[in-house]
Amino acid sequence: MNLKTSAILLIVALLTACATGPRIHTTQAPGADLSAYRSFSFVDPLGTDRAGYASLISQQLKFSTRRELELLGLHYVDDAAQADLLVNFHAHLDERIRTRSVPEPYMGPTFYDYRYGYYTPWPTYTTRTEIEQYSEGTLVVDLIDAGSNEMVWEGAARNTITDKTRRDAARLIDQAVARMFEQFP
């Protein structure tokens, strides 16, 4: 491999490492034996269907979650009364503000500004504050024991929402659900 090819591969690897995806967090109820469950269904209405109809987000979440649970060996049933597990979703969007102090070099007054008392060519540093407003979305998948009506597992994904993520929401939701269930015991 020549030097140019090596440099390109290094740059691609660094860019891939810098790509940020959603932060995934899962929680399991203490003492819950998730291997004992055989079937699942979705609650009605879902937490993401607040307007009384199946939203596009809910449809994508159902598709992705059903695929992942079936890959784990669980069987989907239409009747929630016949299911061992019930699945519910929640989505939330928060407006956030991020501030940070950034150091900036400051040369100070010149020699001719003798009134200030600075007679040095060396820079000093000041700080300026940057303020950024952004949206952060949280997506939660809950698995509920149908018999006891208690949550036994929860997966959550949190990510910054931009115009690009809004346009590509279906693919990103699918990836987030897949990453959640990678941590399913």
| Span 48-100, pLDDT tens digits | 887 778 888 889 999 999 999 999 999 999 998 899 999 999 988 888 888 98
| Span 111-121, pLDDT tens digits | 555 545 455 55
Average per-residue pLDDT in the chain? 81
Cα distance between residue 135 and residue 38, in whole Å: 38
Residue 7 has pLDDT above 70, yes or no: no
Q: For the chain, list the domains and their CATH numbers.
A: 19-96+137-182 (3.30.160.670), 100-129 (no CATH)
C-alpha to C-alpha distances, 23 to 13, 56, 85, 176, nearest whole angstrom: 20, 22, 25, 9
pLDDT, position 107:
61
Cα distance between residue 89 and residue 27, in whole Å: 15
Instruction: Kindly state the percentage of the chain with pLDDT values over 90.
Output: 42
Cβ neighbours around 128 below 10 Å, total: 9
Note whether 21 and 58 are within 8 A (CB).
no
Residue 143 has pLDDT above 80, yes or no: yes
Amino acid sitting at position 13: A
Residue 39 has pLDDT above 80, yes or no: yes
